[in-house]
Amino acid sequence: MSEPARVVTLPRSASPSPDLAISTLGPARIASPLAELLDNSRTSEHYVDEDDKVLLDDTLAGITARGVPASELPGMEPCGPRRRIFFDPAKTRAAVVTCGGLCPGLNDVIAGLVRTLTYHYRVRRVIGIRNGYQGFVPSYGHDVVDLTPESVRDIATDGGTVLGTSRGHQDPDEIVDCLERLHVNVLFVVGGDGSMRGAMRIAATVAERGLMIAVVGIPKTIDNDIPYIDQSFGFQTAFSHASDAIRAARVEATSTANGIGLVKLMGRHSGFIASYAALARSGADVVLIPEVPFGLEGEGGLLAHLRRRVQERGHAVVVVAEGAGQELLGHDPDADASGNARLGDIGPYLRRRIGDHFADAGIETSIRYIDPSYAIRSVPANPYDSVYCVRLSQAAVHAAMSGRTEMVVGRYRRRFVHVPMAAAVSRRNQVDPHGDLWMAVLESTGQPVAFA
């Protein structure tokens, strides 16, 4: 789903250029087995031009502000098959591991990796690592599984991951020891920013030992908060199902006198799911996201706004991202196994404060609270995300077989690109409070710019 075009202020100067250079294991000297597919008379040749790049800036103002020749403009390597590859497919073993929380599309990615490795590159063996990074460590006792096109044929119809997953860090030396024992040449890591930081440590250990093992990531985050990537896989499925929760909340709210629907959605640090779901279902009266602080008290606060909305319309629906309003909860967060701060639960807190406010105002209300988070994480990918996952997996295989390493694949400006892992975890992609997406949300809900 594309965001609506709006008039924006042109930048006065360009932002600093990130380091977008991609690491390789060495020169690619082996002719690609895809030559038969790409060079015959029935299809057009579409190898990637090694000298091409997808520009970081997509506006004349941004490009002009760089003040450099076109050849020096910052950009990313395009994804796709290379004429020459680094690994000999007949002698290559690949491993796939899924890490972190669930997200729609994980099984699609696994199946896509296996099919591309087997059908097109004719890699002899693909191994699935059980239960995330734990699967590499002998003390956990997890087995490995051989992945074939037959074994993954129908897995995309189910949610979750057939390989299992886990959170938390593991010793990179033990992981690389396992890769050596299994004679793995290519490791595909499907996970979020914590998993990609772990993959960077694995790649560093591989380099320290002088091994020729490619480490390539397919970034996974249901919150859509990875920089230099337009959308992460599973995001469209997630906000689609989240919009159904908003519809249910609106039905509940309109079916009772002075009814209020309260929906808590995913979004620890970024409010993309809440914003897109609210736009998909125009029943929300208020959307609260981590990027925009809000106050509760006073005539300009959230509570008074809800009271007025209920008095005017007879009901109201509030959508809140899980990371919104953390400053109101007054707790000292600890960290989970992945190193992420544990959030306070904003949903029940808002439910209590809204109920108290209406009671103090002498207004009888009924609050319907919906938290569909785990139900959404576990669903299969919708057709759009399924296609996206397959194409990401194909791009990851092309990159790995060409010897690229310590990088992830994604789509930027509608082109599939290579992104260094360091850049992919350098910051979070967030909703711009001054951007057109948030403006669209404000127009849709009719809420004020700020609750203060």
Among residues 57, 108, 193, 223, which one is catalytic?
Answer: 223
Q: Are the CB atoms for 266 and 238 separated by under 8 Å?
A: yes
Q: Give the distance, in angstroms, between the CA of residue 59 and the centroid of all CA atoms in the same chain.
A: 25
Nearest to 230 by CA among 287, 276, 282, 165: 276
- Strand-pairing partners, residue 188, are 96, 216
Give SS3 for 249. Answer: helix
Is residue 143 among the annotated active site residues?
no
Measured CA distances, 5 to 101, 167, 435, 439, 448 (Å): 33, 39, 10, 11, 21
24: number of Cβ within 10 Å: 16
Q: What are phi and psi of 169, to 5 degrees?
A: -85, 150
Measured CA angle at 137 (ends 129, 164), to 5 deg: 35
Q: Where are the alpha helices (DSSP H) in 329-413?
A: 346-360, 373-377, 383-401
- Strand-pairing partners, residue 405, are 23
Size of the chain in residues: 452
Catalytic residue positions? 223
